[in-house]
């Protein structure tokens, strides 16, 4: 039998950077354990933060992401017009578009079927962001 499960969760406020949130998603969305074969969609309801999947073991990977992306899209770019909410606002919108607002991850036997070295990142692009909301939707064949 196939079923859909959906839940909205709030992440705590994080500083600018790339933060592993896999454990928070799995911990707050217990319904994943009910799915034998399916898909989890993770959607972030914000335009200045994003999601991606990458290295979950070495924190220097996340630091290198931040260094590279900040050099690629600097806050002090002189031609930005949308600066009403601070110098990090427009760069945050562009950075979020370089990544994505949603991810699709397979579910196998009640667990996320990611590789051993993969984790879900919250890509926080604002220096003083508030909490972020995620909509988690899981669907598939249940046990």
Written as tens digits, the pLDDT of the chain (143 aa) is: 999 999 999 999 999 999 999 999 999 999 999 999 999 999 999 999 999 999 999 999 999 999 999 999 999 999 999 988 999 999 999 999 999 999 999 999 999 999 999 999 999 999 999 999 999 999 999 99
pLDDT tens string 5-29: 999 999 999 999 999 999 999 999 9
Q: Which two tokens stand for residue 6?
A: 């959906």
Delineate the domains of the chain, giving CATH numbers in brackets: 2-142 (2.60.120.460)
- What 3-state DSSP class applies to 24? helix
């Amino acid at each position: 039998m196939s079923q859909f499960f959906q839940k909205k969760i709030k992440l705590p406020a994080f500083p600018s950077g790339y933060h592993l949130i896999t454990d928070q998603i799995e911990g707050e969305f217990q319904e994943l354990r009910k799915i034998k074969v399916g898909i989890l969609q993770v959607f972030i309801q914000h335009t200045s933060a994003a999601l991606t999947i990458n290295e979950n073991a070495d924190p220097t990977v996340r630091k290198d992401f931040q260094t590279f992306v900040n050099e690629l899209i600097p806050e002090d770019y002189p031609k930005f017009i949308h600066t009403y909410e601070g110098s990090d606002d427009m760069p945050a919108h562009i950075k979020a578009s370089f990544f994505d607002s949603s991810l699709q991850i397979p579910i196998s036997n009640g667990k996320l079927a990611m590789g051993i070295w993969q984790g879900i990142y919250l890509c926080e692009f604002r220096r003083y962001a508030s909490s972020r909301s995620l909509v988690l939707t899981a669907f598939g064949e249940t046990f």
